[in-house]
Structure 1
Amino acid sequence: MKFLYKLEKKFGKFAIPNLIVYLLFGQGIAFILSMWNPYVVYDFVFNWQAILQGEVWRLITFIFIPQATSPIWFFLVLIIYYSIGTNLEKTLGTFHFNFYYFISLFMSMIICAIFNISWPIASYVNQTLFLALATLMPDTTFYLYFFIPVKAKYLIVFYFVLLGMEVLSGGITILLLILASSTGYIIYFAIPALKGQRMRIKARPAQKNYNQQHQQKQQRSGEVIKVAFHKCNVCGKTELDDPEMEFRYCSKCGKEFCEEHLKNHEH
């Protein structure tokens, strides 16, 4: 979507690299605190009424509520979400991964404020990260309980079944909260799918602008140093060879290719 690239060009410099690392680090601190005092996480939950009464830290701390209470499971969750987050940032780009995550959080906060919902809403947003990765790489194999191989596209079905059960038990407010937490997924995946499009990774305006400025600076000093952000693993072409060339990641091997070699390469 063009408006996303315009946003990236204007605000891309404010994007947080390795966002998932900071999120998981915060969850790690919260988990340690919860082991010392199990009730501390209740003070982290997003609660609009409490925020209005001065507990403004809840505007941020709800992001860091641990998604598991057992040390073993929490450690596994960290590994899983680190892998998912880094792969998504690599595929979408730093700015788009930031936008995906924070727009989903923001919309969830609005729903919670309107309906006065006190809920660990970041957990829903984090779950959509798995959904996004599974959509990008449907043939990726996950191992349930470490030994049951299941492809991501089948886990998507299971994911929606669980959400359906939550909606049946929680009603319209939970449905709205789930939709709000899926805002990033809707923007980057659902809407393009409804339009018959597929998500494309291309040389982004902010990156092109950086390349141009960097080259102009080097030319003034008598040197020309070209910087490429995308490179085909087969032919070696970059966006510097053709600014209109589009690049995508293979869902099977995870490597980056130009359109010509995306479906014409060896694994």
Structure 2
Amino acid sequence: MKFLNKMERKFGRYAVRNLSAYIIAFYVAGYLMEVFTPDIFNYLTLEPYYILHGQVWRVVTWLLVPPSSLDLFTIIMLFFYYSVGNTLERTWGSFRYNVYIFGGVLAMVVGAFILYGILGGNVMFATLFTTYYVNLSIFLAFAATYPDTQVMLYFLIPIKMKWLGIFYAVILALNFFTSSWIYKIMMVMSMLNFIVYFIGTRNLKRYSYQNQKRKWDYQKAMNQGRKTEHKNADGTITRHKCAVCGRTELDGDNLEFRFCSKCEGNYEYCQDHLFTHEHVRRH
């Protein structure tokens, strides 16, 4: 992230503003070509063989090839992706959104050349690397950034973005594990920008062994505390007792007791001393 911040300070002024509008414009141009000159797509697809033999425009023009036929549902989805893309650009800033989109496009081009080299050339990739994954990466990034945003699925069913994101992630995972290694490489490279973004925005420290052990110890202390009974001087038995003031649940109906995760040992405190007590350390 520090590297990206430095890059933004240095090259941020060159970022393409409103990039989503250009993406949609590419699709519109592609659909017009599909109607009037469909054969031209044979010269626009991402084919490393032809690129290495002089047709260098294919590095960019494959973005003109629409991922599906034009219908009402496609038009609705284009408006949806335009809205989602604009929201991400306003949230991240134009430079970071540019890096995300162009980084994904570059990864797909690199992936095509990797497969071309592995398979020995003369292999057609037009059906593998398409703009479908550009759209999917935008959608997944939005779902990860705004998981609780609610949309109307098919204009009827209210659903949060995180559930749609999980659904598509599961579909991708199933396709990945059931496909050949060629498709595995293609899928990894096609979604590399989202993979990097997702990992980079997660707080991985919470999954560390030290943090997990602290949570296990805390849960263990809580479970032990639920089973512990305290015998008071007057002979009454209680389940909760503050380690500072000695109050129990019998001293008030509104008293609440919690264990402190930072104290080393089975120490329980009332709400008045949970955040004010001195933590117990074993030496």
When the two structures are superposed, what TM-score results if normalisation uses the length of structure 2? 0.64
CA-to-aligned-CA distance 1:128-162 (integer Å, 9 cap, x gap): 11111111111112222221222111111210122
Q: Which runs of 5+ in 2 are unaligned?
A: 117-124, 207-283
Percent identical: 31
Q: Which residue of 1 aligns with 2:148?
A: 139
Q: Which residue of 2 aligns with 1:189?
A: 198
CA contact (8 A) 1:46 1:120 kept: yes
Separation in 1, partners of 2:30, 2:101: 20
CA contact (8 A) 1:124 1:181 kept: yes
CA contact (8 A) 2:66 2:131 kept: no
Q: Amino acid of the residue matched to residue 141 of structure 2? A: A
Separation in 2, partners of 1:150, 1:115: 38
Q: Which residue of 1 aligns with 2:12?
A: 12
Shift of 1:196: 4.2
Q: 1:33 to 1:169 in 2, by over 3 A?
A: farther
Q: 1:143 to 1:44 in 2, by over 3 A?
A: farther
Secondary structure of residue in 1 paired with 2:183: helix
Separation in 1, partners of 2:108, 2:203: 23
Q: Which residue of 2 aligns with 1:216?
A: none
Counterpart pick for 1:156 among 150, 160, 165? 165
Separation in 2, partners of 1:132, 1:65: 22
When the two structures are superposed, what TM-score results if normalisation uses the length of structure 1? 0.68
Secondary structure of residue in 1 paired with 2:202: helix
Shift of 1:169: 4.6
Q: Amino acid of the residue matched to residue 195 of structure 1? A: L
Q: Amino acid of the residue matched to residue 161 of structure 1? A: V
Separation in 1, partners of 2:90, 2:54: 38
Q: Which residue of 2 aligns with 1:233?
A: none
**RMSD of Structure 2 on Structure 1 (CA):** 1.9
Q: Which residue of 2 aligns with 1:86?
A: 86
Q: Which residue of 1 aligns with 2:23?
A: 23
Separation in 1, partners of 2:41, 2:72: 19
Q: Which residue of 1 aligns with 2:58?
A: 58
CA contact (8 A) 2:67 2:131 kept: no
Q: Which runs of 5+ in 1 are unaligned?
A: 198-267
Separation in 1, partners of 2:99, 2:150: 27
Mapping 1:121-136, distance limit 5 Å: 121-136=130-145
Shift of 1:125: 2.5
